[in-house]
Amino acid sequence: MRRLLDKIYFAAGVVAGLCLVMMALLILAQIVGRWFGVVIPSTEDFSGFLLAAASFLALAYTLRSGGHIRVNLLISHLQGVRRRFIEGTILLLALILVGYAAWSVSLLVIESYQFDELSQGYIPVPLWIPQAPMAIGLLILEIALLDELVLLLTGEQPQYMQHDDVSLTGGGE
């Protein structure tokens, strides 16, 4: 199961990176095209869609690699059971908030599909297409948060903390 989850997180991170590359190429094509009087329609729309997809798909991978900004001014002074309790509470709250966001965005995707909503640009795009990566990214983040909480509850150190040079069992910073 561990390998499967790590592959999912990594694949989502790779797709996020590819979205950034495609966005850069699209903007570059628009810039070069303007030199020759060629305008690529809806470049701004597609760039925005790709940026949103990259942002949401990268969330779980970034969490697991310890890349999210954490304000640990208070918890850096805690060790052992207290630290584990605070980390668990934070993970549980994040799990609830991200679960609600994933649910809400998933409903938005379904509604956009049902009502056949289209973007307003030169090239009308069904809105469920750029919204779907947002829902998928939040769902993968929800799984990653649950994964981290399970690690914490089973006595292991969560993956995101392994980059902090901090141990939950004592001897912290």
Q: How many domains does the chain have?
A: 1
How buried is 56 (Cβ within 10 angstroms: 0-12 exposed, 13-18 middle, 19+ buried)?
A: buried
173 inside domain: no
172 inside domain: no
134 inside domain: yes
46 inside domain: yes
- Tell me the per-residue pLDDT of 160-171, one tens digit each, with 9 for 90 and over: 887 665 555 554
- Tell me the per-residue pLDDT of 100-117, one tens digit each, with 9 for 90 and over: 999 999 999 999 999 999
123 inside domain: yes
171 inside domain: no
Return the half-sphere exposure (C-beta side, CA atoms, 13 A cut-off) of residue 71: 0
Q: 82 pLDDT band (50/70/90 cuts)?
A: confident
CB 148 within 8 A of CB 92: no
Q: Which tokens hold the place of 90?
A: 């934070």
For 118, the 3-state DSSP assignment is: strand
Residues 6+ apart with CB under 8 A from 76: 166, 172, 173
62 inside domain: yes
For 152, the domain range is 2-163
For 78, the 3-state DSSP assignment is: coil
